[in-house]
């Protein structure tokens, strides 16, 4: 892990130029989103107070206007950051830990168990993540952990495949055999000597899936299966706001969407940039661990 940080920090001059631009742009955007979130908490904006000024358009008094029950859209949108990022983070954390753990064990021990788990994850892979999320979310109901779990299951096959593939490719290498011959247990072999090879790919995947996780959280919210109102959540808010489009009130469904795009763009840029960097340096870095 420390070797990885060193690689990121000291060798930044050797990164391909376009991926460096992507990483920096992505990091800046993510930082802006996070500081908007921090601002909402520090200033103490209240996303729940209703007022009589229902659906008033954006003005100096209400930067983004107010929604159908007179709540300040700006405070809802900035508070929504907390919930969207939190649920996306929970989902990524669940899918990366379960997906890669099963992938590592399955690839390491092989045999029948490996064939069965691979088939099961392949079957899961045949369904789009959002469809799985819809099924699970409808069954277990909303909530930060529940919604996160619903989204996580559809992404597990990705981590399973990546980690299993990497473990399979290195498990016959001489250094694993020699480590085993000096008495290293399975746990130490897998977690100390094999998983580190998968970390760069996992980090890139995590960052990219933070982006798709945010879209999925909003998608579930839009379909009415996400965090329930009055929680300020972008997808739920813009889904509720769409009833007022025909009467000309465009702001309740525009600004939450804008925040989704900005934060997804940040994580996607960061993820794609990191992916390119790890790919370009993967040959040099193999000796470093």
Applying CB under 8 A, which residues contact another protein?
119-120, 122-124, 126-131, 134-136, 138-141, 211, 215, 218-219, 222-223, 225, 238-239, 242, 245-246, 248, 250, 253-254, 257, 260-261, 264-265, 268-269
Query: What is the Cα–Cα distance from 85 to 264, expressed in whole angstroms?
Result: 10
CB of 179 to another protein, least distance (A): 35
CA distances from 189 to 47, 161, 170, 192, 252 (A): 50, 19, 11, 6, 53
> Could you give the CA distance from residue 79 to residue 33 in angstroms, rounded to a whole number?
11
**201 or 253, CB closer to another protein?**
253
H or E stretch including 243?
A: none
Give backbone dihedrals phi and psi of 34, rounded to 5 degrees, phi first.
-65, -35
Taking the least distance from each CB to another protein, the nearer of 29 and 190 is 29
CB of 195 to another protein, least distance (A): 27
DSSP 229: T
**Nearest distance in Å: CB 181, another protein:** 37
Name the residue nearer to another protein (CB basis): 179 or 254.
254
From the CB of 123, what's the least distance to another protein, in Å? Answer: 4
Toward another protein, which CB reaches closer, 194 or 256? 256
Secondary structure (DSSP) of 248-289: T--HHHHHHHHHHHHHHHHHHHHHHHHHHHHHHHHHHHTTT-
Q: How far is the CB of 3 from another protein (least distance, A)?
A: 29
């Amino acid at each position: 892990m420390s070797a990885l940080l060193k690689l990121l920090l000291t060798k930044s001059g050797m990164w391909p130029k376009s991926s460096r631009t992507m990483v920096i742009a992505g990091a800046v955007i993510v930082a802006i989103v996070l500081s908007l979130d921090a601002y909402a908490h520090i200033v103490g904006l209240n996303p729940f107070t209703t007022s009589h000024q229902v659906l008033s358009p954006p003005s100096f008094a209400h930067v983004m206007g107010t929604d159908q029950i007179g709540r300040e859209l700006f405070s809802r949108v900035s508070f929504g950051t907390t919930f969207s990022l939190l649920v996306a983070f929970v989902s990524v954390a669940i899918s990366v830990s379960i997906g890669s753990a099963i992938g590592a064990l399955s690839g390491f021990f092989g045999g029948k168990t490996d064939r069965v788990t691979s088939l099961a994850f392949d079957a899961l892979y045949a369904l789009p993540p959002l469809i799985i999320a819809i099924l699970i979310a409808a069954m277990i109901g909303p909530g930060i952990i529940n919604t996160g779990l619903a989204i996580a299951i559809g992404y597990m096959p990705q981590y399973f495949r990546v980690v299993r593939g990497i473990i399979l490719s290195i498990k016959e290498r001489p250094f694993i055999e020699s480590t085993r011959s000096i008495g290293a247990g399975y746990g130490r072999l897998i977690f100390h000597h094999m998983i580190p090879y998968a970390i760069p790919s996992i980090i890139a995947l995590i960052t990219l899936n933070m982006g798709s996780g945010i879209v999925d959280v909003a998608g579930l919210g839009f379909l009415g299966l996400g965090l329930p109102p009055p929680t300020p959540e972008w997808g739920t808010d813009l889904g509720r706001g769409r009833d007022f489009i025909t009467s000309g009130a465009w702001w309740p469904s525009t600004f939450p969407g804008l925040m989704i795009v900005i934060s997804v763009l940040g994580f996607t840029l960061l993820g794609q940039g990191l992916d390119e960097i790890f790919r370009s340096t993967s040959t040099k870095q193999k000796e470093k661990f």
